[in-house]
Amino acid sequence: MRAGLLLLGSAAALAACTAGKPPASSVPPEVARGQAYYTTCQGCHGNAGEGFAGMNAPRLAGLPAAYVAEQLILYRKGLRGGPEDFLGVQMNGRAKALPDEQAVRDVAAYIATLPAPPQQPAASPANPAGADLFVSCVACHGDKAQGNAALGAPPLAGTDAAYLARQLRNYKAGIRGREGDTLGQQMRAAAAVLPDDAAIDAVAAHAAALK
Ligand code: HEC
Ligand code: HEC
């Protein structure tokens, strides 16, 4: 009898303190942990992962968790970034500051919940050279540059064109897509066919403006 009352009392207390909160199961634990880690990223990548061109930090919202985790692991291992990569090197310390690979998966899981921001109307005029060059990218990145998770090819549409162009230069120079980075090496081969800086800028501007 007494035990029953106690039980009833504690159930009521529990109901009172969970009232108004979403059921605990609505936020998976890795996402909740990842959100806490993300506080160390938002100063550069933005509160909603929208990116911040002033810090050269690309948009993360809209990237699949597997791609984000892969990039963080590459930065942790020094296969991306490093002293030759003036802007990318900033990410090596940030990625290594995550305590372990579970933390990498957690922050990637949180980032994957951030909705991709709505596309701005294209600021640049139609870019026929970029459209022609982009034909060789469609098989992996998709006709709208929406990405293809099965191939590990990230979305490019809506990302900062200057960031995309810089990555293409890094692949071409062998700074990104190093030995041991299998997917990056595929992309290095794809970037090698872009003849010059004008081609890189044109294809990056085209991909960034796609919807
Ligand atoms: C000091 C600013 C800064 C902080 C803090 C920072 N980043 Fe970055 N991040 C950058 C810059 C700059 C780049 C682009 C590097 C390049 O050009 O290769 C980048 C690139 C990335 C990329 C690669 C994106 C892509 O499309 O390939 C990922 C993923 C990323 N950051 C995740 C994170 C996460 C997660 C955190 C927090 C744990 C974080 N960053 C903290 C500045 C920062
Ligand atoms: C064979 C498939 C394939 C083709 C073709 C290809 N890509 Fe990629 N691309 C990838 C993969 C896989 C990645 C992720 C590589 C990594 O982890 O570094 C990638 C990454 C990128 C990135 C880095 C994005 C980021 O967020 O940092 C850019 C930019 C890019 N590709 C542009 C292009 C352009 C432009 C073309 C055409 C000229 C092209 N790609 C053709 C597979 C491909």
DSSP for residue 27: S
How many independent structural domains does the chain possess?
2
- The reply to whether 113 and 84 lie within a common domain is yes
Percent above pLDDT 70 for the chain: 85
- The reply to whether 111 and 156 lie within a common domain is no
**30, 39, 40, 44: residue to mutate for ligand 1 pocket, most atoms within 8 A of CB:** 44
List of residues 6+ apart from 161 with CB closer than 8 A: 124, 201, 204, 205, 207, 208, 209
- The reply to whether 99 and 131 lie within a common domain is no
- The reply to whether 156 and 167 lie within a common domain is yes
- The reply to whether 126 and 104 lie within a common domain is no
Residue 19 lies in a domain: no
Token readout for 30 is: 């890795």
Residue 53 lies in a domain: yes
Rounded to an integer, what distance in angstroms lies between the CA atom of residue 18 and that of residue 201?
53
Residue 1 lies in a domain: no
- The reply to whether 40 and 98 lie within a common domain is yes
Predicted confidence (pLDDT) per residue in 132-188, tens digit: 999 999 999 999 999 999 999 999 999 999 999 999 999 999 999 999 999 999 999
Q: Is the pLDDT of residue 97 over 60?
A: yes
Which residues constitute the domain of residue 43?
Answer: 27-118
**56, 76, 141: residue to mutate for ligand 2 pocket, most atoms within 8 A of CB:** 141
- The reply to whether 134 and 152 lie within a common domain is yes
pLDDT at 23: 54
Distance of CA 151 to the CA centre of its chain: 15
Predicted confidence (pLDDT) per residue in 14-36, tens digit: 444 444 455 556 899 999 999 99
**pTM for the complete prediction?**
0.90
Residue 4 lies in a domain: no
Return the residue matching tokens 């899981």: 109
- What CATH number has the domain bearing residue 126? 1.10.760.10
- The reply to whether 160 and 110 lie within a common domain is no
Q: Which atom of ligand 1 is closest in space to residue 55's alpha carbon?
A: 12
Whether the Cβ atoms of residue 62 and residue 93 lie closer than 8 Å to each other: no
- Which residue, judged by its Cα, is nearest atom 18 of ligand 2? 184
Output the CA 21–ligand 1 centroid distance in Å: 32
| Ligand approaching nearest to the C-alpha of 186 | 2
Output the CA 141–ligand 2 centroid distance in Å: 7
Of the three residues 90, 118, 146, the one that is the final residue of a domain is 118
